[in-house]
Structure formats: structure tokens, C-alpha cells
Amino acid sequence: MIKFLFSALLILIIAMLAMIGADNFIYSHLPHSAVITDFFKYFTLIADEIVLLILSIIAIAFFYFKKKYHSIILLSFSMILSYLTGLALKAVIARPRPDSLIDVSNFSFPSGHAIGSLIFFLVLLYSFKEDIKNKILKYSFISLCIILPLLVGFSRIYLQAHYFSDVIAGFAIAIFWLGFIMKSNFIRYLYRFFIRFK
């Protein structure tokens, strides 16, 4: 399983690099308007590092209150490992950003906003979807947890803070670490440790 996941990540990164040819087409043909630009400038802030850190702390506290210890481990370690992976790839690949419509720093590949938002909302989805008994509320919650990170990713492309392949790579890294932690014995060992010393 671990070898498969690492192979899948490598293949995905190679595929993302192969997409770079499509990046320029999307970058140059995406229409813009002042209203939509202003909207996405605010919307993209929900995946800002500080905002996600605060939201994650709140979520972890709620998970603890609800005794969802698996979710605490999943959110904490997937965020940390994905963040470190993103930093390493930014340093190694050192891809310059496009001419952004907002203030941005460091390199472009992969998108940290895409990584963080997808992990956060997928962990929420994993943790609470079975707790919601009302079908309308349940499917609304599922839809929201899927649509919000996709919109964050699109906002990064729309605001020209990232290329398309940066965002897709960010999503791939998030899915990889979530899958790795959930499918390996890693979360089981940490859960036993957490229960013993909590």
C-alpha cells in the first residue's frame, strides 16, 4: 500500500509537470471581471495559512469534545506532512508565479491553498457525514465540503496566484497524505498512544 501511494504521488507530480503546456492557455484565456475578482480576493482568504490554522485548532478542539480522536490525528498529521511536502517541492522546483492580481510570496508549485483547503474540508467530511441523519442536510454538507476547496483552487487560478497545474498538484498531495495516513497503520499506532496518554 505504501509503495503504491508513493508511486501514485510520483506519477501525479510527473503528470502535473506535463500539464504545464496547458497552463499558459488557461492563463491567457480566462476572462476576468472586477466584481468576480473582488469576490475571489476575499474568498481565497479562507485558505490563508493563519485562517486555516485557527480553523484547524477550532476543529481539533471540537473533535476532542466529540471524542473523534482519529480525526484529530488525521487532520494534524495530514496538514503537517502536506505542508512540509509543499515547502520541499517549492524549494526544489522553484517555479516562478504568474503575474498575480494579489500580493503573493515564495514559489508557485504546488499551491499551498489547494493543499490546506482540501485536507481541512475532506477531514470534516470524513468526520461528520455519518453523524448527519437528515438527508437534505447531509448531502448539503457533503456538497459544501467538496465545492469549497474546488472554489479555493479556482480562485488561485483566477487571481493568477497559481497556474492550473499548481492547484492540481496541491490537491494530489493532499489526497496522497490523507490516503497514506488513513490506509496505513500510522493512525492506529498514534491513536493507541493518544488514548494512553490523553
Please report the pLDDT score of residue 140 as a whole number. Answer: 93
d(CA 61, CA 145): 19
Q: Total structural domains in the chain? A: 1
pLDDT digits (tens, 9 = 90+) for 40-82: 988 998 888 899 999 999 999 999 898 888 888 889 989 999 9
Please report the pLDDT score of residue 148 as a whole number. Answer: 94
pLDDT band at 161 (very low <50, low <70, confident <90, very high): confident
* Structural domain that includes position 8: 2-197
Please report the pLDDT score of residue 120 as a whole number. Answer: 94
pLDDT band at 152 (very low <50, low <70, confident <90, very high): very high
Please report the pLDDT score of residue 20 as a whole number. Answer: 64
pLDDT digits (tens, 9 = 90+) for 103-138: 788 888 888 999 999 999 999 999 988 888 888 999
Q: Is the pLDDT of residue 195 over 80?
A: no
> Residue 154: how many CA atoms within 13 Å on its side-chain side?
14
d(CA 123, CA 59): 10
pLDDT digits (tens, 9 = 90+) for 90-106: 888 888 888 877 878 88
Give, in order, the Cα–Cα distances in Å from 113 to each of 5, 29, 46.
22, 23, 9
Cβ contact 56:120 at 8 Å: yes
d(CA 76, CA 178): 11
Helices (H) and strands (E) in the chain, counts: 9, 0
Q: Positive or negative CA dihedral for 65, 67, 69, 75? A: negative
Lowest mean pLDDT among 44-48, 178-182, 186-190: 186-190
